[in-house]
Structure 1
């Protein structure tokens, strides 16, 4: 059904005026990470620093912290472009460090030589910055083989860490360096464009800008340590790298490469994951504010006989969790790198943390260090088979399990962004909500579940949508739980630029749309003509208990974690269809055979799953 053009035009005029009156989503600038609330004394017997010569002659800075005692030691490498090549310096001891000094301390005290390696073109390393470029893996190979041959090394090398230090592991392992025994990557970009740079084709320019600001801060920490040590070579290299990084930065390159092309494809660590030949311990956070939980699905390309995996609700730095470190990470490294016969090889291959909480919610490290699962699911293989369950969008905002939608299209004004969630300014919380949210969003809510429903894995929001005179539009779909106590809990969120909607049918499934995402696949929207856009919802696991409701929101992209979108700006009145000819639906994967604890967790206790009063309640409070 088409809505008369005059009504569309009047709606757009109202939108123009309303947007002018409401103003922009103005928020104060970020002030950096929380200040350090701890410091350290040297916990190593000796620190060794120097430079590794890469295959092309580029020299990469490294720093090694040796444990107490005589002899040779197994080596663990953390390799990134932040400040890894300066571990042990004055900034590091003041906890002015990207990763976890406490974790390094644990590992040194367990008898490992902990080695930090600085990526080319960063910190005090020579070369040109090229994030995830082809040389990142070959440089990692040079670092591993160098470490294996040193006088303080017993030749057994592992890698650990998350984020940039996780991506480096996957890229290094595909080069199969001599001496590498195991890797433990967490929270990585496996397919950077779809994971971060433009999920669903919607440009995420805010993250790359703030990320480079953060990188610059980390090089300031490198500089601080070098000043203490009067290391003139390092100081000169840091200044040189700062001066030239702009021309090779992600900000610069993503403007030059707005669509998936050969440059983008060269920077997809997942593409060679099948070449990894060492054991892998992967950690993944569902509500990861920096890389999403998608990770390019690289784990599915690994040899399942080599894979152990931990998945959890929570955020990007959950790798710091003492529960994870003591129960999984340290035993994994002790077995495969140190050679201890501790039985790790017989442990369950997949551990899913449900409803993860933290004993301490304040501080820079404590919310992650004290994080632990409310309850867990263990399985002996990955991936898991789930049952697809369809929920049809219908009139009156209904979401009907196993049913069919009906009624006339629902319209909303575009672009009015949805509510912020888990931003760096207001973490673990619902954030700013546009004053015109009622006109700029649609919500569809199920009846209360008559059983416990455990959703697991990816999901697909299949939305039939039309625009009014706009050749494109960006869609955000947010999944929430509406609890019996009338509280709404954030679960997960996905995005799609409608012109990017063409699917690779050979890879798409009912639960996971796979976009072609190539320039030749672009399909503009036609005025008032509905088109099917399948919105990929990144992986998650969440129990909807008996009595709770499932809800989806449809609106324009908004800040989510560190992601801030340059959404398509042409104003429109979008319509969502849900009749027999246009069956819009949400498809979730149900993991059966699982019994969830009966009691609901207290509101706002779940990491990265904030709770708010139900805004559609008859007794709703102002947002």
Structure 2
């Protein structure tokens, strides 16, 4: 949902005017400095033959802003639609040319040069589109359908329409395709919320209200970019609509709705539509998913499992939210679109269905785009079908902080003071990095560590942390489990995190597996804790793939939730003494998925080279 938190103000003033006049890059930099802005990382000259802007009518008459960039060629063109509530309806404007754009101007440029018309559509109630903002509400999909059919009917369109983009522009693709517009040929969604509550608003039942609050701020900033372009174009209609939308959006914002809807009620359940209705998608899909995604997490509601596998291609990668910008991925994206939207016989349909990027690195981490555009895997795994099915491997929690593969736990329970949050990781203020430990972290966390591994352990998919917990005179507790690798060189590498509110622990037994507990997550399923009575909480740890090399150790930390990426948790706050029980009657364990028969490169990656997988010195050493 955050495509990028820009590090500079978005009131462009003189810069927007300079852009609108087609000023040189030098003049643009001078204009930026006159506005008190840091020098622009990039600027663009128009790379299209013609820009078409206007408003299309949704079925109920609501008018949605659009902007189209047409290639430098004659005739009609296949059209690629990016549809979101950020600034998509203003692509090609002054802010866009100054790289003040939520998504990737460079990707748009390549697609236009490849002969596509790139069309941005603004969601209702956002930017300068009419209507009322309703994130992932029912009209989001039907509006998308209307936009696709509008694009197909235009004089510059050849009637073949695709969709692309990530985050909000990925969710729009799912909801649009579920409405089955006649002229939609293919979609390429990345980094989505398939089930908004389970993926983001309350993963494991733990409220994540910081994200929805700060996201509201981010959306408002993106509309400032819309205003900058409209000012440069003297577009009074757009400016008036943006002001109206900004004035009324708070009442329908996620910030407010998370307070109004703290549990999975009917309103919240509607926002799982991208996942729940995914079986209605009948066009080819290229899905991109990032394991350490700091904005929407890697879970994505598991919508891909509801698609026709014959119509699905996937890229799964270690790394973060904006990995869709990767030039390596862009090659696959263009080949996919060329085949299914243009109709080229390029052999894409014969390519592997699943490509798993292992140990993603980047040559350039400077600026907004560098780390993502140059991102690429160190090595890959490919498969001809999805899903990939790993085998389950179990590690028992035991006395003295042991994690025993295929063993049994023993010893007295381990107690810790609650709630003391674990360290932050990959936050926007300290990205690609661990934050500091809490001053009394030793009293507020537990760690369980395996012996040095005698083989390479290549994990894949979801995991389950099955924790038997007691609390002292408290009806609830929120757990965070962090999976790490402790390397032979004494460095600890972040792998993945999961969360669970113990009162939300009741499972849908029909859908749960050893590797994926499935919470019922309904108001009627709430089960408070009883004082000093052990209760089993099975925590779903979102998907990941990581190579734990021979000689390394596997570790999990148990503590209270802490900031992770853009997620900040409103954890249950009554202080207590919690204990993890791990005897024969209460087998606390970690269950991982393992892929076998795959040769793992022997060399350990250099510390802090893996995107979103920072190292730190082992705190327990």
- Offset from partner CA, 1:127-184 (integer Å, 9 cap, x none): 0000000000000000000000100000000000000000000000000001100000
Give the equivalent residue in structure 2 for 1:586: 590
Preserved contact between residue 338 and residue 344 of structure 2 (Cα < 8 Å):
yes
Give the equivalent residue in structure 1 for 2:581: 577
Unaligned 5+ residue runs, structure 2?
9-37
Give the equivalent residue in structure 2 for 1:306: 311
**Mapping for residues 362-511 of structure 1, pairs under 5 Å:** 362-511=366-515
Give the equivalent residue in structure 2 for 1:83: 87
- Offset from partner CA, 1:286-338 (integer Å, 9 cap, x none): 00000000000000000000000000000000000001101x10100011001
> Please, which of 208, 224, 229 is the counterpart of residue 228 of structure 2?
224
| Aligned: 1:33 with 2:21 | no
> Please, which of 43, 50, 56 is the counterpart of residue 46 of structure 1?
50
Give the equivalent residue in structure 1 for 2:150: 146
Give the equivalent residue in structure 2 for 1:273: 278
Preserved contact between residue 95 and residue 229 of structure 2 (Cα < 8 Å):
yes
> Please, which of 54, 76, 81 is the counterpart of residue 72 of structure 1?
76
Give the equivalent residue in structure 1 for 2:294: 289
Give the equivalent residue in structure 1 for 2:11: none
Q: Whole-Å Cα distance in 1 between the matches of residues 602 and 5 of structure 2?
A: 41
Shift of 1:432: 3.0
Q: In structure 2, the residue corresponding to 1:601 is in which secondary structure?
A: coil
| Aligned: 1:596 with 2:570 | no
Q: Whole-Å Cα distance in 2 between the matches of residues 486 and 395 of structure 1?
A: 22
Q: In structure 1, the residue corresponding to 2:286 is in which secondary structure?
A: strand
Give the equivalent residue in structure 1 for 2:329: 324
> Please, which of 211, 215, 233 is the counterpart of residue 207 of structure 1?
211
Shift of 1:238: 0.1
Shift of 1:267: 1.2
Scaled by the length of structure 1, the TM-score of the pair is: 0.94
- Offset from partner CA, 1:332-368 (integer Å, 9 cap, x none): 0011001111000000000000000000012100100
Give the equivalent residue in structure 1 for 2:252: 248
Q: Whole-Å Cα distance in 1 between the matches of residues 45 and 435 of structure 2?
A: 39
Q: Whole-Å Cα distance in 2 between the matches of residues 500 and 489 of structure 1?
A: 29
> Please, which of 68, 75, 95 is the counterpart of residue 99 of structure 2?
95
Q: In structure 2, the residue corresponding to 1:140 is in which secondary structure?
A: helix
Scaled by the length of structure 2, the TM-score of the pair is: 0.94
Give the equivalent residue in structure 1 for 2:360: 356
Q: In structure 1, the residue corresponding to 2:174 is in which secondary structure?
A: helix
Q: In structure 2, the residue corresponding to 1:136 is in which secondary structure?
A: helix
| Aligned: 1:550 with 2:554 | yes
Shift of 1:198: 0.2
Q: Whole-Å Cα distance in 2 between the matches of residues 362 and 604 of structure 1?
A: 15
- Offset from partner CA, 1:30-87 (integer Å, 9 cap, x none): 9843674101000000000000100010000000000001100000000000000000
Give the equivalent residue in structure 2 for 1:22: none
Q: Whole-Å Cα distance in 2 between the matches of residues 193 and 102 of structure 1?
A: 32
Distance 1:31-1:334 versus aligned 2 partners, 3 A rule: closer
Please, what is the CA RMSD of the aligned residues?
0.9
Give the equivalent residue in structure 2 for 1:19: none
Name the count of aligned residue pairs: 587
> Please, which of 338, 343, 357 is the counterpart of residue 339 of structure 1?
343
Give the equivalent residue in structure 2 for 1:8: none
Give the equivalent residue in structure 1 for 2:15: none
Q: Whole-Å Cα distance in 1 between the matches of residues 249 and 459 of structure 2?
A: 43
Q: In structure 2, the residue corresponding to 1:420 is in which secondary structure?
A: coil
- Offset from partner CA, 1:360-393 (integer Å, 9 cap, x none): 0121001000000000000000111111000000
Q: Whole-Å Cα distance in 2 between the matches of residues 32 and 190 of structure 1?
A: 25
> Please, which of 561, 566, 571 is the counterpart of residue 570 of structure 2?
566
Q: In structure 2, the residue corresponding to 1:373 is in which secondary structure?
A: strand
Q: Whole-Å Cα distance in 1 between the matches of residues 576 and 130 of structure 2?
A: 49
Q: Whole-Å Cα distance in 2 between the matches of residues 455 and 555 of structure 1?
A: 23
Q: Whole-Å Cα distance in 1 between the matches of residues 367 and 232 of structure 2?
A: 27
